[in-house]
Amino acid sequence: MAGLIKSAGGRPRPRLLHIGFGGFARAHTLAVIQAMNENMPPQCPAWGVRVARLHSSIRQLDALEKAGGCYSLVEADHRGAFARRVECILDTIHPLRDGPDALPEAIADPRLSTVTLTVTEKGYALSAEGLNLDAPEVQEDLNRSTWQSLPALLVEGLARRREVNAGGLTLISCDNLSENGRLLSRSVRDFARARGDASLVHWITENVAFPSSMVDRITPALDDAGRALIVKLTGTDDPNGIVTEPYLQWVIEDSFAGPRPPLDLGGAQFVTDIRPFEAMKLRMLNASHTMLAHLGSLAGLTTIDACMAEPLLARAAARLMRIEAAPTLPPLPGIDLDAYAGALLTRFANPRLRHACVQIASDTSQKLPQRLLAPISWHLDNGSVWPLMALAIAGWMAWARGQDEMGRTLPLNDPLAKRIRKAASGPDGDAHVAAMLEIEEIFSSRMAKDPRFFDPIRSAYRSLRERGVRGALADISPVEGRNST
Ligand code: CS2
């Protein structure tokens, strides 16, 4: 770890653990930790990170070990590309390589202060009522006293931490869910309760903090062109290299259980109320991503920048942000939502990212509530219109039937794929919309039965089927799309 010691004097200790070593963590969370270490006063010891994966392949972790914990990160946009080194990682953990006890032991290590997590929305195994005790992986952990699911693993680690009296711990969720900290806390407590350990639930309440956090950096899965760019800039074909955009945001609720890593030195921001930041990002950025990914794919476009090159889709993204999402947001002093939308549109058009629509359109069942259903609820309460949000949901429903407008196959990657396929196996048209709205893991029955909710979606779906994506978008008149301003 020569680079780490050089970057911020003193011997690095494993004070941080990151679970979910994927492209986003490499481009975002670990990049902030690296910058924090670089910007710390020379007398302060660096914060060393251990990185872990729960299920995905061991290969990249082995490669990272071989590279001494270092990898290349390239930030690229139309202005150019710039390579950095990330070298804050001490070692790696994978249950299949290091044994089932390695991760709980890492969580129980008294030197550890903070765990960060990027496990995607589905990793939390949540239902509307809290932890989904019927999820097969949760069931299996409960029945066999194993810890393969995230909640079971965290509970096992925290139980051991309590046993060795290792002190409090902070767990920071970095996934795109509203109030992700509260949801993580719910998932962990529910599992501890289901394990029958009421005293552990109490200990967790007293000793563990679950700050919510809003994360933002558009980071597509690495493609061949990205790999070639890394080789060109660094001279190495780094198996853990990643290409991302220059923009980065990490807003963290300031509620820690022990020593707080000075992540602000790495570009993060600590705030007392995270909710307005989360809502802004999920409803403006992620909601329009979901809309573009589905409508763009149906129309035969494969990347977000290609969508942005089509005036109808670019205008739809701008309108969804400015007219349908922005009015639903709580005030955020000092933030100009119009300028925020403008910056997002430029980021979406970044030609170096080639962000695949198919990637964004995966796991949509887990994304609809916080991205689209929450702002639509606001519109229902306020009597305002939401034609583009309706078209986004209709686009997802059309995707579920498996083909784009040219008859090419659209893959359905979703933890609810079985349920969605069943709903999509009946006749098309209004009946299909009705069947999709019956998926109660996504739509509450109150919402699904409300004509103010299903009518606009049904009309949007008809319009998509009769006029195609471009026709349906062209039919949304500026007047119809206007709520305020
Ligand atoms: C995207 C996000 O895949 C998706 O659903 O909307 O991963 C998005 O790129 C990030 O949230 C940007 O910060």
What's the pLDDT at 134?
92
Other Cβ atoms within 10 Å of 183 Cβ, number: 20
What's the pLDDT at 478?
63
Mutate to test the pocket of ligand 1, among 286, 372, 414 (most ligand atoms within 8 A of CB): 286
Residue 361 in 3-state DSSP? coil
What spacing in Å lies between the alpha carbon of 289 and ligand 1's midpoint?
Answer: 7
What spacing in Å lies between the alpha carbon of 217 and ligand 1's midpoint?
Answer: 8
464 by Cβ neighbours in 10 Å (0-12 / 13-18 / 19+) ranks as buried
Query: What is the distance between the alpha carbons of residues 322 and 350, in angstroms, rounded to a whole number?
Result: 20
Q: What 8-state DSSP symbol labels residue 449?
A: T
What spacing in Å lies between the alpha carbon of 268 and ligand 1's midpoint?
Answer: 18
What's the pLDDT at 215?
98
Name the pairing type of β-strands 89-93 and 80-86.
unpaired
pLDDT, averaged per 10 consecutive residues of the chain (485 residues), comes to: 45 92 98 97 93 95 97 97 97 97 98 98 90 94 96 98 98 97 97 96 98 98 97 97 98 96 98 96 98 98 98 98 97 94 98 97 98 98 98 98 98 97 98 97 96 98 98 80 45
Query: What is the distance between the alpha carbons of residues 415 and 180, in angstroms, rounded to a whole number?
Result: 19
Q: Which domains does the chain have, with CATH numbers?
A: 13-271 (3.40.50.720), 275-474 (1.10.1040.10)
Q: Are 179 and 149 in contact (CB under 8 A)?
A: no
Query: What is the distance between the alpha carbons of residues 462 and 472, in angstroms, rounded to a whole number?
Result: 9
| Sheet with strand 13-19: strands edge to edge | 89-93, 47-52, 13-19, 114-117, 169-173, 208-209
Q: Would the CB of 186 count as within 6 Å of ligand 1?
A: no
Q: Would the CB of 216 count as within 6 Å of ligand 1?
A: yes
Query: What is the distance between the alpha carbons of residues 375 and 381, in angstroms, rounded to a whole number?
Result: 10
Q: Would the CB of 176 count as within 6 Å of ligand 1?
A: yes
**CA-220 nearest atom, ligand 1:** 9
**CA-285 nearest atom, ligand 1:** 6
What's the pLDDT at 3?
45
Q: Which pTM does this prediction carry?
A: 0.95
Beta bridge partner(s), residue 76: 81
Q: Would the CB of 365 count as within 6 Å of ligand 1?
A: no
Question: For atom 6 of ligand 1, which residue has the closest CA?
Answer: 286
